Amino acid sequence: MGPDFRQTMEVNNPEWVQDFLDASISYPSDQDKMRLAIVLARENVMRGTGGPFGAAVFEESTGALVSAGVNGVVRLGTGTAHAEVVAIMLAHGTVGCHTLRGVPGGPFTLASSCDPCAMCLGAVLWSGVSRLLCGASRDDASALGFDEGPVFEASYDYLKSRGVAVVRGLLRGEAQEVLRRYRDLGGPIYNG
Amino acid sequence: MGPDFRQTMEVNNPEWVQDFLDASISYPSDQDKMRLAIVLARENVMRGTGGPFGAAVFEESTGALVSAGVNGVVRLGTGTAHAEVVAIMLAHGTVGCHTLRGVPGGPFTLASSCDPCAMCLGAVLWSGVSRLLCGASRDDASALGFDEGPVFEASYDYLKSRGVAVVRGLLRGEAQEVLRRYRDLGGPIYNG
């Protein structure tokens, strides 16, 4: 018998996130959705539970919240635990399906406080959401030293060709402010 | 009080994977490493536990196995549970760090039975591995109807510029055979 390779990685949010989520509140507009993503990003910074990134999934027709995610790279101990990946995994768990496409309550929108990195942009495709909202830009994240990976204009074109509408630069100023705060507090640049 | 948003997504392998992993065996060559990834992909198909993809992480210097992953999209209920993501998350869990870069035992190699999709290519960057080995090609997966997402030659160039060496087409024939078997068995194309 060698060592045991039975392992599980548990992906979730820090406990405080619960206080910012309320299923009785609706987030009708794109700005409403993005504001929640940015609030989560800001709180993640201020509470020291992760990088300056937040995301959330909503029903488009009702504006109801489905799931949320904050960056958990250091807390969860895996470079894959970006806010978008966390929100997408938990959305799948909530609806009980590996894709949000064709699921009751859909179509769905993902709001992310920053342009997604290469991994998260791919995850958006497999998530089954129909819309992606982005706050801060790739350049804003890069200015802090975060690597966003191989994302090109053609990557966004690809999403659109697969039926995913993309809105970028939504409440960018507020989203940038979270990035600046993280830098000022000396937060770690784990993908430097 | 609204519904509870405390949730956890558990990422792991099916129980049978344990039978194919042995920490006392070394995988010195690239072919040895790829063969394990392909064996896992094949078994995943034959046992009906997921898509035709397998991956594993190894120490480069010793050839020791660190972690493995098989596609668990339908089993785990999330479109993000590709073989590479599972193997990378479990590797991080094993070494106890969010990146493999600079960790004792490194540098590390990831072998994947197929060219990574856009999400997994990004995840490879954040994994901290120094080498990526690929078996079947993007075209082989696309021929089955699997969407690989926005991956371009420039995406691989980006990995190389970040210090990740890439070897593609390793044991491609054996890897293709697994894809064909999946098709012949009528396995679901979940990212169609």
- The pTM assigned to this predicted structure is 0.97
Which of B92, B149, B158 lies nearest to residue A149, judging by beta carbons? B158
| Residue A86 forms part of a structural domain | yes
- Point out which residues pair with B13 in neighbouring strands: none
In a domain, B57, yes or no: yes
CATH of the domain at A58: 3.40.140.10
Q: How many CB atoms lie within 10 A of CB B30?
A: 16
Q: Do A126 and B79 touch (CB under 8 A)?
A: yes
ipTM rounded to 2 decimals: 0.97
- With a CB cutoff of 8 Å and minimum separation 6, the contacts of A132 are A109, A110, A112, A116, A124, A159, A164, A165, A166, A167
A21 assigned to some structural domain: no
Residues A78, B67: C-beta atoms closer than 8 Å: no
Q: What is the DSSP string of A65-88?
A: EEEEEE--IIIII-TT--HHHHHH
Residue A66 near residue A49, CB atoms below 8 Å? no
Residue A96: inside a domain: yes
Is residue A46 a part of any domain in this protein?
Answer: yes
Question: What pLDDT score was predicted for residue A1?
Answer: 41
- Mean per-residue pLDDT for B162-178? 98
Nearest-CB residue to B122 (from A8, A89, A117): A117
Q: Is residue A14 domain-resident?
A: no
User: Reduced to 3 states, what is the DSSP secondary structure of residue A161?
Assistant: helix
B85 neighbourhood in chain A, CB within 8 Å:
80
Q: What is the pLDDT of residues B93-143, one digit of tens each?
A: 999 999 999 999 999 999 999 999 999 999 999 999 999 999 999 999 999
Report yes or no on B175 lying in a domain: yes
- Domain containing A95 equals 26-184
Chain B residue with minimal CA distance to A125? B149
Angle at A11 between CA A111 and CA B102, to 5 degrees: 105
Q: State the pairing for strand pair B165-167/B131-136.
A: parallel
Tell me the per-residue pLDDT of B20-64, one tens digit each, with 9 for 90 and over: 999 999 999 999 999 999 999 999 999 999 999 999 999 999 999
pLDDT along chain A (192 residues), means of 10: 79 97 95 98 97 98 97 98 98 97 97 98 98 98 94 98 98 98 91 61
Smallest CA–CA distance, residue B178 to chain A, in Å, is 22
- The total of structural domains in chain B comes to 1
Token pair belonging to A20: 């910012």
Task: Name the percent of chain B lying above pLDDT 90.
Answer: 93
Residue in A1, A5, A66, A147 to test binding to B, most B beta-carbons within 10 Å:
A5
CB contacts, 8 Å: B94 with chain A: 7
Residue of B nearest to A126 (CA): B79
The pLDDT value recorded for residue A190 is 82
